[in-house]
Structure 1
């Protein structure tokens, strides 16, 4: 059973309409129910069942088991107009929760440590409201409850399954509850918001031997160390200074004993950038650098390089739609944050490649309550007042998207 832990909003919601404010208790309960039963990528079956049950109760048409566990719902207005999609990701992370709250995860080693439980609750609240107010907007709204954002990505398989068709989607929006911004702020900008995510694993193959006889060996540790240092020149000497990028080596494994020269060394890392034109550039440069260093030492190597997600790039008109809506909802002394880029990645990027759209951040940090731990931290939690605000933002985007004068 979901706890009756206090749910009173700590944020001024006076600009949120009464019908949506009255949903706050339900929003919190849905979020906490999902939080207690976190599920990893492509295994979000209880979450999908909960979503489908709510949609059925509310008489909203929907399909299930899309890209394994995805759910898509459609609400048509009584007034003709365009089709706007709203995307919410559902999956949790393989993290042991450290929060001492009544609604903490009941699944060992699994936790909603990134706010996806809140994303689902906000989308459900938006669907409920719009289903009760079909005359208040124009066109059709399609809700995409997506699996597996945290891993290999569920957006692409959902797109391949046709979720942006029948009816064809004209625009798409999504939000991320964001503890990197103060409670009640909205981070929105046109152009790049989040970075491309590329990954690599490399094995350096040398020749092992006795630590006292290095002349008989090809030291994989020495070779790999030079590779690590050389890779740091890619951003500083290959990428234009105005193009932000990151090359990080996160793992380095080599050796078995203090007096043995290692015959192999294994490196792995990640690459991030905003400029879509850089696709392929950094990977090629990494291959060239590793190849040159290995050749100079007589070593060989095996490199595996792959792209997870392209950068999240917002359409200018759609970003302006979200910005104009946010300006009507947030408190004047809080504000809209345009400088909200992050080198974090998101597979929302695939949706934004397919149709014009906007992904934005909803500030949720409340240090006074201890709700300001970073995403993916075992004590991550957020101020649930933003659930109500998230619904209001989505509903106003729907209402404004269907107007010809928007």
Structure 2
């Protein structure tokens, strides 16, 4: 064994990293546990980036970066010329306490890998190392890249694109762990896989404060704001295609400091999510117009702001077919779960798919109650046996893509 000294602990790297190596799964488990112990918030993943860089460089692989402050990538260049296909992993953690009673629990208070990004990073590392061992069979290049700040707005994907991660890339893939699926099962869906996510804020402003005994002498901003909210809930369902998924949710409401004073301003906000790209602009316009029109009826005005998040992930049907064939050939049809409907959650991997075709798949990581907590739960964990299958499947799939895309 070669010992890779990366503070604060050592990770042993097997000399033989072929698909059949008995220690490969244990090696990846050590990596995942190191990352899990030392989470970092988005755009501050400096230790994580150094860890990844050091690991690859000690295996003789050239690392490109930083991109987007803490992002990087490694190109696995095959023996034959061909296209470049990308595989992406996110590396940031969440600002949540880790409440699991395990020896690899987060050592950083208020930070934890509770969305599986430590597993995503580990799977990507394993995939890259497996491909590096078989580069003589690759008919092109596989770019494995590690992206910061998936959880934030603005997220890391547009910054990675700005810094050139997609240059020369013909398609992009990613995966996300799924605690609702058993380990060894992969979730596939064609078309919309996730929704977009945009944040909105509405300020309802009256001419002045008012007395609660005489609301007729002022604009009752609290009542007006609730009217705007209720109208938004109604109008979105009547002005967007019911066959598309669209969800508007008001999640915060602020206004007033006294029980007998009508405030001059009330602010509320939330998110709007769409599975069809064309609905995003429609809903933004609806929110702005509805707020202005409703408030004006009662003598108030509005200010509406948007923070544009990720678009929907739209999986390419041909690439879904390629992944399906790879999984079936390696593990059989029982290893596939056909996802019946898109998630209304968001994933910033979608930004890459506005430039190149691609797909996002789900990777099952549950083997019982301890690994079935939902994403973002303070007890979220994974079945680490996933490292015995997911990197192997992804390496085989990416190799097959290069073979077909020539």
Query: Could you tell me the TM-score, scaled by structure 1's length?
Result: 0.92
1:223 corresponds to which residue? 224
The 1:173/1:105 distance shift into structure 2, 3 A limit, reads same
CA distance in 2, matches of 1:247, 1:358: 25
CA distance in 2, matches of 1:249, 1:326: 40
337-346 vs 282-291, which moves further: 337-346
CA distance in 2, matches of 1:330, 1:339: 21
Structure 2 residue 319 is the aligned partner of structure 1 residue 318: yes
- Aligned 8 A contact 1:211 1:260 in 2: yes
Unaligned runs of 5+ residues in structure 1 are: 5-15
Instruction: Give the CA deviation at 1:331.
Output: 5.3
Structure 2 SS opposite 1:382: coil
CA distance in 1, matches of 2:235, 2:179: 31
Unaligned runs of 5+ residues in structure 2 are: 1-7, 12-17
2:268 corresponds to which residue? 267
CA distance in 2, matches of 1:340, 1:62: 38
Alignment equivalent of 1:154, drawn from 153, 156, 165: 156
CA distance in 1, matches of 2:235, 2:10: 51
Alignment equivalent of 2:165, drawn from 163, 184, 192: 163
1:12 corresponds to which residue? none
Instruction: Give the CA deviation at 1:349.
Output: 0.8
Structure 1 SS opposite 2:193: strand
- Aligned 8 A contact 1:187 1:340 in 2: no
Q: How far does the alpha carbon of each residue in 1:124-153 deviate from its partner, in whole angstroms, 9 at most, with x for none?
A: 111111112212332111111111110021
CA distance in 2, matches of 1:93, 1:43: 12
CA distance in 2, matches of 1:257, 1:37: 45
2:371 corresponds to which residue? 371
Q: How far does the alpha carbon of each residue in 1:47-71 deviate from its partner, in whole angstroms, 9 at most, with x for none?
A: 0000000110111111121110111
Structure 2 SS opposite 1:102: coil
- Aligned 8 A contact 1:190 1:319 in 2: yes
Q: How far does the alpha carbon of each residue in 1:84-128 deviate from its partner, in whole angstroms, 9 at most, with x for none?
A: 111001001111111111111111111111000001101111111
Instruction: Give the CA deviation at 1:295.
Output: 0.4
330-339 vs 47-56, which moves further: 330-339
Q: How far does the alpha carbon of each residue in 1:292-341 deviate from its partner, in whole angstroms, 9 at most, with x for none?
A: 11101101111102311111111121111111112223454453323251
Instruction: Give the CA deviation at 1:180.
Output: 3.2
- Aligned 8 A contact 1:185 1:337 in 2: no
CA distance in 2, matches of 1:405, 1:302: 49
1:44 corresponds to which residue? 45
CA distance in 1, matches of 2:205, 2:391: 54
132-141 vs 58-67, which moves further: 132-141
Instruction: Give the CA deviation at 1:257.
Output: 2.2
Structure 2 residue 314 is the aligned partner of structure 1 residue 309: no
- Aligned 8 A contact 2:40 2:92 in 1: yes
Structure 2 residue 71 is the aligned partner of structure 1 residue 70: yes
CA distance in 1, matches of 2:295, 2:278: 28
RMSD over aligned CA atoms reads: 1.9
2:109 corresponds to which residue? 108
CA distance in 1, matches of 2:181, 2:205: 45
2:191 corresponds to which residue? 191
CA distance in 2, matches of 1:64, 1:337: 36
Instruction: Give the CA deviation at 1:262.
Output: 2.4
